[in-house]
Amino acid sequence: MIIVNFKTYREATGSNAVRLAEICEQVAKKTGAGITVAAQAADVRSVADFVSIPVFAQHIDAVDYGAHTGATLAEALHEAGASGSLINHSEQRLELRQVDACVKKLKSLGMTSVACAANDEEGMNIARFGPDYIAVEPPELIGGAVSVSTAKPELISNSVKKIRCNVLVGAGIKNGNDVAIAKKLGARGILVASGIVKAASPERALTELAEAMK
């Protein structure tokens, strides 16, 4: 699995989100890679209506229907076309009890849960809630010039050994070599953002990652 997190970059907001999602879909069809996009809540419906690849939300809140002004409701995202969501991203941290509630909520809706963890120890704590995937991303490397594959390969191998769940890795991943290392160490996929969204050619950059996943 390759998850392209659109974050709130200008290049992946509004009509740009739809265009980027179309590129991701084209690469998925061309390479046969399992590519998912994680769009902003406001863009989920327009993106999901336009492409056939999975569309995830970037965050949900641990709330039910009711008086929760400003909260991100999983049911609303599901109705909008989201088939899953990231949880506990380093830019939108949750307490462990909230992570548990969000995983349960997504399961009840038949949606895929990708819970983020800063390291293998946090990943082990989150794994007991039973998410579909755990994405291990060292916060200090996110958006940086050095990838987790290069800076902390031992974190990938330790996470794969310790976490009894499908492990994805992210932070700084930008090229096929980064992906090849992660795959060799046992990761089931990657979570990537700026390396694709802000690339001079998102199609070329994503194709390189997708080819390396084979």
Chain segment 57-90, per-residue pLDDT in tens: 999 999 999 999 999 999 999 999 999 999 999 9
The Cβ of residue 148 has, within 10 Å, a number of other Cβ atoms equal to: 27
Global confidence as pTM: 0.94
Percent of the chain whose predicted confidence (pLDDT) is above 70:
100
Residue 70 belongs to what domain range?
2-213
Given a cut of 90, whether residue 202 has pLDDT beyond it is: yes
Active site residue 140: no
Using DSSP's 3-state secondary structure scheme, residue 51 falls into coil
CATH number of the domain bearing residue 81: 3.20.20.70
Nearest-angstrom CA–CA distance, 62 and 48: 23
Nearest-angstrom CA–CA distance, 193 and 144: 11
In the predicted model, what is the mean pLDDT of residues 178-186?
89
Model confidence at 152, pLDDT cuts 50, 70, 90, reads confident
Burial degree of 27 (CB within 10 A; 0-12, 13-18, 19+): buried
Given a cut of 90, whether residue 193 has pLDDT beyond it is: yes
Structure tokens at 43: 């863009």
Active site residue 22: no
pLDDT at residue 100, as a whole number: 98
pLDDT at residue 143, as a whole number: 72
Residue tagged active-site, from 137, 140, 203, 211: 137
For the chain, how many structural domains are there in total? 1
pLDDT at residue 69, as a whole number: 98
pLDDT at residue 15, as a whole number: 98
pLDDT by residue (tens digit) across 101-147? 999 999 999 999 999 999 999 999 999 999 999 999 888 777 777 77
pLDDT at residue 91, as a whole number: 94
Given a cut of 90, whether residue 156 has pLDDT beyond it is: no
The residue assigned the tokens 């390291």 is: 119
pLDDT by residue (tens digit) across 26-39? 999 999 999 999 99
Residue 204 CA to its chain's centroid (Å): 20
pLDDT at residue 139, as a whole number: 80
Mean residue pLDDT across the chain: 94
